[in-house]
Amino acid sequence: MVRKLSPFLVFLLAGELVASTPEAVEITVRAINGKTGQPLVRYLIRLDGVDAMYPEANVHRLAIARTGREGTALFKLQQPLPTALFIETEEAHFRRSGMVSCGRPQFSTEEVLRSGVVGHNGCDPQHRVRQRFSARPGEVVVFSRKKTFWESFPG
């Protein structure tokens, strides 16, 4: 004998399943040209997760997104989150990237979510970029620049 569940009970059970699934966490990456201070528009941002205990062995691809007009790319990450995020800026294809990171591309996930992080801009040692950048909780500001002619040759 099979009993039918009342629609109200089905609704309660479905609500419980939805409530128990972990929510996605939003992280915004803002990519800035380290030499000019301008946003990097329509560039690819690659976000990798890193396990802090064994960083070399436990890098895994989380997502790839393209920056918009403001140089920002939005990522929605599922739980469990990695302990650190590794962020790379790429041009339209990954075969031969024409970009160089201006600072260390690895950031603490906890710090990014708590207060936001502005990466180091090592591409502007004379401080010609006058803008001051700040990050909101859940945001990372990274600086990159195009490779020079000589840097584009494999070494």
* 3 state SS for 77-106: ECCCCCCEEEEEEECCCCCCCCEEECCCCE
Q: What is the CATH number of domain 18-137?
A: 2.60.40
Q: What pLDDT shows up at residue 4? A: 57
Query: Tens of pLDDT along 58-110?
Result: 677 889 999 999 999 999 999 889 999 989 887 644 445 678 888 888 899 99
- Could you tell me the two tokens for 101? 């990171």
Domain boundaries, the chain: 18-137
Using pLDDT thresholds of 50, 70 and 90, give the confidence band for residue 3. low
Whole-model pTM above 0.75?
yes
